[in-house]
Structure 1
Amino acid sequence: MTFDDSTPLRRLPDFVSFWLARLLTTSAFQVLSVAIGWQVYSLTHNVFDLGLVGLIQFLPRIALVLVIGHVADRYDRRRVVGIAQLLQALSALSLAHGVFSGGLTREWVFLAAFIMGAARAFEQPTSQALLPMLLPTAVLPRAIAANASANELATIVAPALGGFLYAIGPGEVYLLGGGCYLLACVLNQLLRPRPTTAAPAQAASLDTFLAGIRFIRSRPDILGAISLDMFAVLLGGATALLPVFARDILHAGPMGLGLLRSAPGIGALLMSLWLARHPPRHRVGRVMFMAVAVFGLSTIVFGLSSSFPLSLAALVVLGASDMISVVIRSAFIQLETPDEMRGRVSAVNMLFIGASNQLGEFESGATAALVGTVPSVVIGGAGTLLVVVLWMRLFPSLAKREQLVTQAH
């Protein structure tokens, strides 16, 4: 199929399929996160185990980061994404089997979480590298924001649905997650990415593995943006502790947990819809730093709150501010990276994101076990504010950056 940058509407069906697949995979991840978090805490009543879930999902990302980027750049991206989604579906269905057979254990859940973490480590960067092959460069910033809306829509609806279904039975949640992954796999295989001018496949070597890291190091603004997000969310993330807040502090039960997990998605969805129509154009560096500061302040408010409505509101603001950083960072990477390197660069970027999310969950659980749940969240929010101040000094060109792209690509 001939690709014509002047006719983006011809690529719309592919983008819709891609968007729906992203909606399904994020929905699956969210409903499974609610079920796994609540079930682990119910089995062990140990906040440290909640942190272990995040660590277990993050470890494969560290071990495989260089291989992931090579695979994403040298093999059919649709096939890589499909295999990863199939593995996640099978893991979810195995959890359903464990529930229905009455033999589900803490170790079984951890093993399934590890497999899903490894598969997701391949799926996310490869999927990111696939998006620019579907649309013209001119509409990519809007497409990134629109694609993010799929994530946030799922983040709103899926956790609440997961909490509701968990009240009926965890097996139903695992079946739903597995089904969503299977359907997303089918949709992704129907995509028709445009031909690229990428170099032919090469044998894996240390040089090809490290190319993505070298590229990011050569772009200080990109390095500053993704490291800012990593350390801010690593310190300020309270997601792993939501089961504790829902059960012991806010007394909201599993349905309340679903609503708490949905709240950041509400703010993020509203912001992503705004950014899809009004993408960041000016003073993008200052806007990103302000957004991360608001993220830290919202984290502190959530940690100190004992009111369920106030906690929900704080998480809504948290999600909206985080979305600004997500869109700016994603636009940096996609617009300034050659197609033949997008897989490796995206793999490194996803390592940063994984560190901020899954490793942040372990940090939250470990800190809560040492100093308590509320102090852990408040200290993390304060740490985020400190990171903002430090990064403005370490990356002054990023703080002063006016536009997303400084040169034509």
Structure 2
Amino acid sequence: MSEPTYSNNAIAAVKIPEYRSLLAGRFCFITALRMLGTLVGWWMYELTNAPLAIGLIGLAEVIPALSLALYAGHVIDVSEKRKLLLKGIFGYLCCSLLLLLISTRYFNTNTTKTIVIAGIYTVIFISGIIRAFAGPIFGAIIGQMVPRVILQNAITWNQGTYLSASVVGHASAGFCIALFGNTGTLGIVAGLLSVALFMLSKIKSKPAASTSVNKRTWESVREGLNFVYNTKEVLGALSLDLFAVLFGGAVAMIPVYARDILHVGPIGFGWLNAATDFGSILMVITLTIFPLKTQQGKKLLFVVAGFGLCIIVFAISKIFWISFAALFVSGLLDAISVVVRGTIVQLKTPDEMRGRVMSVNSMFINSSNELGQFESGVMAKLLGVVRSVIFGGTMTLLVVIITWFKAPTLRKMEY
């Protein structure tokens, strides 16, 4: 049977039924994770009243995720990816049920606050182990699911789904906390993960590439690292996002801003969490219809610099709508960065190395979110919350300036 033909238009990738199942499953999955992350940050701040405790949540997740990332990339490349993905989603479901148990009145009545806090950190640590394997699989599967000619379109839709789910997850978490409390919100999270498990089970088997199966673990890991290091456009884009996200992690301090600086409570907290993603969704829709066609590398540097400026504005604002607008614009700019970086990585990576490269990508990008959360918590402890966020935005600008001069290949890059 001949392969189906897909026109290269704005909905080319979505015409593939299997890809639609992936998008639906990923939407539910990311919505659940964003609700969970928002809830845990608010919950921990309620328990401790300490910004550093929020930062330690990120550290608890990133230690196992970062430690296992390279090995996970090898496992992904030599495994059947659908089965591994379903195991990861099921693991997240178990973690959400454990947190639901910890949040119940019975558990809190019969244990101490210290045990509750320790239990939360333990579950988050376990979720970091799961994330090392589950996170990169989505990127690895896309390359096997859609024709290369519409890969850029698939990446844009994938990112739009991710950001839409982030908006729904962040915003709805605030409302759900206000309406149903922590336990009720965790029940919704578990339900969403169950739906994600069902939708992703519809994906066809994605076997390992034959060239990856017989390689030794260290040989395989080293090959992936060498590929990223020697592909300068990939290395430059990943490094830029790593440090920008690491230092620009203002989102980690949103619980403090919402409660103690802007005084907007859990509902305002949810809107602030969603502001960045609202902007990102709008930009991803725009990029789906009008994709970037020239000077993508230079534009990447400009938008990351703008992101840093937005973080500084958010840091000094004491007015809710200005804070919301700063985060919204940062989302517009971040979406451009993510789409450009994702397109570079997918177009440059051969199928047999997608798991390893996506795991390195996860180390650079996804783990930097949690490291950035930890950095924000530590700097808030040392400098105070406002000064720590200003510091983060300023460092993001400095990273862009250094990258401009030190990575001319990235600056001149086009695809």
Q: 1:319-398 maps to which residues of 2 (within 5 A)?
A: 319-398=331-410
Instruction: Verify: 1:13 aligned to 2:17, yes or no.
Output: yes
CA distance in 2, matches of 1:394, 1:118: 34
CA distance in 2, matches of 1:239, 1:182: 27
Q: Among residues 198, 219, 240, which one is paired with 2:231 in the alignment?
A: 219
Q: Which residue of 2 aligns with 1:295?
A: 307
Please state how far the C-alpha of 1:175 moved relative to its aligned partner.
1.2
Q: 1:26-41 maps to which residues of 2 (within 5 A)?
A: 26-41=30-45
CA distance in 2, matches of 1:50, 1:35: 11
Q: Which residue of 2 aligns with 1:407?
A: none
Q: 1:72 to 1:264 in 2, by over 3 A?
A: same
Q: Which residue of 1 aligns with 2:177?
A: 166
- Asked if the contact 1:297–1:381 (Cα under 8 Å) also holds between the matched residues in 2, the reply is yes
Name stretches of at least 5 consecutive residues in structure 2 with no aligned partner. 109-115
Q: 1:232 to 1:182 in 2, by over 3 A?
A: same
Please state how far the C-alpha of 1:275 moved relative to its aligned partner.
1.1
Per-residue Cα deviation, 1:364-403 (whole angstroms, up to 9, x for no partner): 00000110000000111011000000001110111111x2
- Asked if the contact 1:14–1:192 (Cα under 8 Å) also holds between the matched residues in 2, the reply is yes
- Asked if the contact 1:77–1:127 (Cα under 8 Å) also holds between the matched residues in 2, the reply is no
SS in 2 for 1:379: helix
Per-residue Cα deviation, 1:340-373 (whole angstroms, up to 9, x for no partner): 0000000000001133200000000000011000
Q: Which residue of 2 aligns with 1:126?
A: 137
- Asked if the contact 1:69–1:343 (Cα under 8 Å) also holds between the matched residues in 2, the reply is yes
SS in 2 for 1:199: helix
Q: 1:73-88 maps to which residues of 2 (within 5 A)?
A: 73-88=77-92
- Asked if the contact 1:11–1:135 (Cα under 8 Å) also holds between the matched residues in 2, the reply is no
SS in 1 for 2:293: coil
Q: Which residue of 2 aligns with 1:89?
A: 93
The aligned amino acid for 2:298 is R
The aligned amino acid for 1:220 is K
Q: Which residue of 2 aligns with 1:114?
A: 125
The aligned amino acid for 2:70 is L
Greater displacement, 15-24 / 337-346: 15-24
- Asked if the contact 1:48–1:362 (Cα under 8 Å) also holds between the matched residues in 2, the reply is yes
In the alignment of these two chains, the number of paired residues is: 403
The aligned amino acid for 1:351 is M
SS in 2 for 1:191: coil
Question: Could you say what the CA RMSD is over the residues aligned between the two structures, in angstroms?
Answer: 1.7
Q: Identity percentage over the alignment? A: 36
Q: Among residues 308, 315, 327, which one is paired with 1:315 in the alignment?
A: 327
Instruction: Verify: 1:253 aligned to 2:277, yes or no.
Output: no
CA distance in 1, matches of 2:343, 2:205: 19
TM-score by length of 2: 0.93
Greater displacement, 218-227 / 272-281: 272-281
- Asked if the contact 2:212–2:352 (Cα under 8 Å) also holds between the matched residues in 1, the reply is no
Q: 1:270 to 1:198 in 2, by over 3 A?
A: farther
